[in-house]
Chain A
Amino acid sequence: MSGIDDSLLNEADETVRVRLIVNGRKVACEVAPRETLVDCLRDSLELTGTHAGCEMGACGACLVQLDGRAVHSCLIFAVQADGATVDTIEGLSERGAIADLQAEFHRRNALQCGFCTPGMLVNAHELLSQVTQPSREEIRDALSGNYCRCTGYEAIVDAIDAVAKARGTSGGVT
């Protein structure tokens, strides 16, 4: 790779080609540099499971996994992710990676409108992959950047707690 080419400076908003592995599939899309990853996912790739709420890092609705870690897709430009692996709620669902979390959220009414749910699930998935038996306090702490306007959080914490315990007794993390 080399230094900057001066012509680049006069090409603001000229689209660039970005290659990603999204949910296990190689994709390429044309994006303007200012386009955030959440817009690219929703508009270009039609993966609308990732929600855009505040678009400034405050609500957590837009969480996706980037190279295996939960990040806000509203706080990264798609060009920055060129070459990276992205897993959205669609991919995690299809793979069955969060099936037990989804079932428990459903069973305990841990969602009403569902706007916050994809972000909650991505976050819960990361938490349980790092801490196998989190305390309720740790669960709350991990969810501190995810807003829910409907449930009052209690059922969400219950669901994650129940899954952590179930995974512990069944002896395996999916």
Chain B
Amino acid sequence: MDLGETAVKARAFSYFRAATIDHALDAHARAGDDARFIAGGQSLVPALSLRLQAPRLMIDITHIDELRGVRREGGHLRIGALTRHCEMLSEPLIAEFAPLLHAAAPFVAHPAIRNRGTFGGSVALADPASEFPAMTLALDAEIEIAGPSGRRRVRADDFFIDLFETALQPGELITAIYVPLFRADQRFAFDELARRRGDYALVGCGILATFAGERIHDIRISYLSVGNTPTRVRGAEATLVGSRLDAVRIAAAQAALEGDLAPPESDEVPPAMRLHLARVLLGRLLGRLGEAA
């Protein structure tokens, strides 16, 4: 990015602080969809400052109570879209019922960014290098969306479509994310490899596994920074279902990654290196899951 050529001030816009979801949706429609919802602003403000985006209307959603709060609802934890990254670390309900999010949170940016950035904003943006979108896949989470035509829930498996492209339509708002409650027969692990702490990861991975005794009954493995979207590795998952976590199985899962992942060309991290790092990470994490018995 050549900052010398780029303005670092946003283009002019109008600002509207919405008190309810309906007000926010209505404002978006009235601006002819030439509008942006702003939550933590930790991705949007830099994009505006660099003039990558220049909407006519900024709709502040941070004062909408309905988007806030973490609570149990049946078999799910409902995590409000405005839940800040730092709350993933401090909220006891998250540590207990969605420990994978708790484990991934320290890897998201730096403390001050975690003080403002929101879960809903991170999932809506769907940066393939971000931790939380990838973890919604591992958790089999559901994303609740409010739009002009009503409310719906979309499974994370169906939510991420392409680079920065999701099932969200223009003018739609994420209201909450529903995560199945963590259970006693489950284990989780998260880790990532980055050049420096706080940087976006070269490769990151989170796993949620359900055990029947010592055998894996079900496993979901999700990667960040390996392609255009957060990525589940179904081939590797399939090699593990029904088996114990021994060295042979772990090696088989690592080998299966070659068929699951096709990292894009990049000057900094060649595809072969990313695939190698993905294998290394999987070996470490599965090893940890095995020990966590």
Give A contacts to B, CB under 8 Å: 1-4, 6, 8-9, 11-14, 16, 32-34, 36, 55-57, 60, 63, 69-72, 74-77, 79-80, 82, 123, 126-127, 140-142, 144-146
Contacts and interface: CB of A to CB of B under 8 A. Distances in A.
Contacts of A60: 110, 112
Nearest to A144: B198
A77 B41 contact: yes
14 contacts: A3-B22, A8-B57, A9-B14, A13-B13, A57-B113, A70-B115, A75-B41, A75-B45, A77-B45, A80-B15, A80-B41, A141-B106, A144-B110, A145-B111
Interface in B1-30: 8-19, 22-23, 26-27, 30
B9 to A, nearest CB: 7
B269 to A, nearest CB: 20
Given A75-B46, A80-B62, A145-B198, A13 B111 contact: no
Nearest to B28: A4
A33 B36 CA distance: 14
Given A126-B111, A145-B112, A32 B12 contact: yes
Contacts of B30: 4, 6, 9
Interface string B203-216: 00000000000000
B15 A33 contact: yes
Contacts of B22: 3
B13 to A, nearest CB: 5
Given A80-B60, A80-B62, A2 B12 contact: no
A75 B62 CA distance: 15
Contact of A57 (B12, B19, B46, B111): B46
Interface string B25-65: 01100110000001001100110111000001110101000
A140 B30 CA distance: 47
Nearest to A127: B111
Contact of A76 (B13, B45, B50, B196): B45
B197 interface: yes
B58 A55 contact: no
Given A34-B10, A76-B41, A145-B113, A56 B56 contact: no
Contact of B38 (A2, A14, A80, A146): A80
A-B complex: 8 closest residue pairs judged by Cβ atoms: A145-B110, A144-B198, A13-B12, A33-B15, A4-B27, A1-B19, A56-B46, A12-B12
Nearest to B9: A34
A12 B14 contact: yes
Contacts of B46: 56-57, 75
Contacts of A79: 15, 17, 60
Contact of A34 (B13, B16, B19, B23): B13
Contacts of A2: 19, 23
A75 B116 contact: yes
